A and B are shown apart, each in its own frame.
Chain A
Amino acid sequence: MTKACRYGTHRVISPAGTLPQPAYKLDNTMRIYENEVLIDVKTLNIDSASYTQIKNACNSDAEKMKQMILSIVEERGKLQNPVTGSGGMLIGTVKEIGNEFPANRLKMGDRIATLVSLSLTPLKIYSIEKLSPDSDQVDVKAEAILFESGLYAILPDDIPEKLALAALDVAGAPAQVDRLVTEGDIVCIIGGGGKSGILCCYQAMQNVGPYGKVIVVEHSKENAQRIIDMNLATDVIIADATNVMNVYNKVMAVTGGRGCDVTVNNVNVPSTEMTSILVTKGQGYVYFFSMATSFTKAALGAEGVGKDINLIVGNGYAKGHANLTLNILRESKPIRELFEKIYT
Chain B
Amino acid sequence: MKKGNKYGIHRVIEPKGVLPQPANKLDNNMDEIYDNEILIDVKTLNIDSASFTQIEEQAGGDKAKIAEIMMDIVAKQGKHRNPVTGSGGMLLGVVEKIGDALIGKTDLKVGDKIATLVSLSLTPLRIDKIKEIRSDVDQVDIEGKAILFESGIYAKIPDDMPEKLALSALDVAGAPAQTAKLVKPGDTVLIIGAGGKSGMLCCYEAKKRAGVTGKVIGMCHSEKSTQRLKDLDLCDYVFSGDATQPVAILEKIEEITKGEMCDITINNVNITDTEMTSILCTKDKGIVYFFSMATSFTKAALGAEGVGSDVTMIVGNGYTKGHAAITLQILRESEKLRKVFTELYA
A-side interface residues toward B, CB under 8 Å? 5, 7, 9, 17-19, 21, 115-117, 119-120, 149-151, 172, 243-246, 274, 278, 282, 288, 291, 293-296, 298-319
Contact = CB atoms under 8 A, between A and B. Distances in A.
Interface of B: 7, 9, 17-19, 21, 117-119, 121-122, 151-153, 174, 245-248, 276, 280, 284, 290, 293, 295-298, 300-321
Contact of B315 (A117, A244, A312): A312
Contacts of B307: 7, 19, 149
B280 A172 contact: no
Q: Shortest 5 CB-CB distances between A and B: which pairs?
A: A303-B318, A316-B305, A311-B315, A313-B313, A306-B153
Contacts of A301: 21
Nearest to B304: A315
B310 to A, nearest CB: 5
A310 B316 CA distance: 8
B104 to A, nearest CB: 19
A17 B245 contact: yes
Given A303-B118, A316-B305, A310 B314 contact: yes
A303 B19 contact: no
A172 B118 contact: no
Contacts of A278: 7
B271 to A, nearest CB: 14
A304 B298 contact: no
A315 B313 contact: yes
20 contacts: A18-B247, A19-B246, A19-B276, A119-B306, A149-B307, A244-B17, A246-B17, A288-B297, A295-B300, A295-B315, A300-B318, A302-B315, A302-B317, A303-B117, A303-B318, A303-B319, A313-B297, A313-B304, A315-B301, A315-B310
A314 B118 CA distance: 27
A19 B19 CA distance: 41
Contacts of A119: 306
Most chain B C-beta atoms within 10 Å of own C-beta, residue among A149, A245, A295, A316: A295
Contacts of B297: 288, 291, 293-295, 298, 313
Given A244-B18, A313-B313, A315-B312, 14 more contacts: A17-B247, A19-B247, A119-B306, A245-B9, A291-B297, A294-B297, A299-B315, A302-B317, A302-B319, A304-B118, A309-B317, A313-B314, A315-B313, A317-B308
B290 A151 contact: no
A119 B319 CA distance: 37
Nearest to A21: B306
Contacts of B311: 315
Contacts of A17: 245, 247-248
A305 B119 contact: no
Most chain B C-beta atoms within 10 Å of own C-beta, residue among A246, A300, A318: A300
A295 B296 contact: yes
Given A150-B308, A244-B18, A312 B314 contact: yes
A317 B304 contact: yes
Nearest to A307: B319
A299 B313 contact: no
Contacts of B280: 7
Contact of B119 (A150, A293, A304, A318): A304
Nearest to B310: A319
A342 to B, nearest CB: 24
Nearest to A289: B301
B84 to A, nearest CB: 16
B290 A295 contact: yes
A15 to B, nearest CB: 11
Contact of A116 (B17, B248, B305, B314): B305
Contact of B306 (A116, A300, A313): A116
A306 B118 contact: yes
Contacts of B296: 295
A305 B318 CA distance: 11
A282 B320 CA distance: 10
A298 B19 contact: no
A151 B310 CA distance: 11
Contacts of A151: 305, 308
A182 B315 CA distance: 22
A123 to B, nearest CB: 15
B17 A311 contact: no
Contacts of B298: 291
A218 to B, nearest CB: 20
Contacts of A115: 305
A328 to B, nearest CB: 19
A293 B290 CA distance: 15
Contacts of A172: 305
A334 B295 CA distance: 39
